[in-house]
Structure 1
Amino acid sequence: MTAVGSAAVRTVLGDVRPEDLGVCDAHDHLFLSSPRLPGQELNDAAAARAELDAFRAAGGASVVQWTPYGMGRRAADLPPLSRAAGVHLVCATGLHQAAHYTPESLDELRGRLAAVFVAELTEGIGTSGVRAGLIKVAGGFHALDAHTRWTMTAAAEAHHATGAPIAVHLELGTGALDVLDLLCGELGVPPHRVILGHLNRSPDPVVQRQAADTGCWLAFDGPSRAHHATDWRMPDAVQALAEAGFGHRLLLGGDTVVAGARSVDGGPGMPYLLRRVRTRLEAVLGTEPVRAILTDNPGRAFAVDWR
């Protein structure tokens, strides 16, 4: 698949035109493993295929997998899954919080992290031949520690070398403005190349508006966990941002991170985004604005003039 024109979304099967993504889950995971989630790994290819089939049956056409380097991406499994399910898949490079890695594995990346990101974006991940289409990094809880600054500095270097977007895990939705100060202020990444994830988990309308004012993307991703405000405050937050003129900067995702959260294992899974979140938002925004958030916006957020 080859994109027509200068901007393209880099999928595991090749570059595609932004308008060809269709209905997109802009933040999710097919494969993921972490020492912080023992026994809950997403590592079953058959289950991943079943989840993609369920998402496709609900009307989904593309999934952006935010699983970064060293967390069980199984990049070689993604192209056959994409072909079999008929769903576009975008794979990530990048690095999560230090707690998801051994100290030895992080030490091995010292001095070459940006080069690893660039290689995975332009040459491919390991021997899989799959090229990443975005860089995923993470902030801390209301703070940017030394690990965050290291990974975000490398992400910014890789962005400047390739044009790739940078997707940011905000810990419990916090630290959005600090992240933007670092990435866009100190490190010179254009705001429209930054995607803030989980901003809805800290439902501060002032911070959300301030972040939107910079020109970055705001991702409302994942159903509520216990005591989170994601579901019940999310429609009001999305409506407020849309009415303030930021509907063109919003993204929606499912963020399935453990096996029990998959729909095929009894959880909400990827179809929940279209089965419940979409219909809930349509009730306050209308059909057309929600269609644009699910289709037009991801195409623009992840499309790059690749260098």
Structure 2
Amino acid sequence: MIKKHSAAFAAFLTFTSYTAFTAVHASAASAENPASLSHATGYYDNSQLVTVVSIGGESEIYFTTDGSRPGKDSALYDGTPITVSENTVVRIAEYSGEELVSTDKASIKIRTTSPTASSEGGEYSGTLKVTLTCNDPDAVIYYTTDGSAPSKDSAKYKKAITISETTTLRFCAYAPDKSRSKVVTEKYTITDDSFSDPLCQALFEVVNETRAEYGLKPLKAHTALTEAAEIRAKEYSYCQSHYRPDGSRWDTILTAYGLKTSIRAENLAYYYTSAKQVMRCWMNDSFHRGNILNPDTEYIGLACYDDGWCKYWCQLFIG
């Protein structure tokens, strides 16, 4: 028996990836007001809920979700919500008795989640290692380092990418039954491994001389990390703490600069007037010494802020 519904009846259809086999009768539009799908053919960044809207009349709506043409032997629309989580073609056919009244079709393409880089594009000193990740566990990442658009013919990401010269890194992800993610572009400008502030340059050299004495590799200067250290040194001049003036942890400054890393540390000191003096202070304390001599640390940012009364020093480390 066909159920009759009001003229304003709106039915919702969501779907996964294959033909739905649930059958039910539904109110549909006349030829003047054909049933239609809420979504147009196109690309979508996440799962979608697709609706079938029918206005007025009494007819039956049949549908498929595998791209095949629906007929009276297909599933009858019942309005049951189904989530679209991968590439799917939904087609509907509206019948009045044995007469085909209208049809509609939408090809819904779900993009793979866009991958991200461990370091945002910007200016860096020395060699940089960039890791790529994607929240979709089934996705495979492809990348280029010459600025060209990546595809499945490009290099497949397997391990951290070493950036030793100015490079435009472009990457994307592919997951089964989904469309390619959006292409992400990060440009890395590599500069000389040095500091413009003579005090910071002296401290940089002392740090690496000290690490060499312990058989450790030298740290590389990092422009964004140094900018973050400059902010922290100034904050330290009126808030002597590893917490920031707003009460947040010191490492929120790294997040603000897009520095995504699990190894992070901060050394602070004030009053000392030379690099050797402040290094002696830090090396005499096990906590600060551990930060300086961490074998897994790769990059350092340095700052010395002078407020006219004394100097405030900051070392930031990431790995």
Same fold by TM-score greater than 0.5:
no
- Work out which of the two has the higher radius of gyration on C-alpha atoms and give 1 or 2: 2
TM range (shorter): under 0.3
Larger RCO: 1 or 2 (CA < 8 Å, sep 6+):
1
Higher strand share: 2
TM-score (norm 1): 0.23
Please state which structure has a larger fraction of its residues in helix: 1
- TM-score, with length taken from structure 2: 0.22
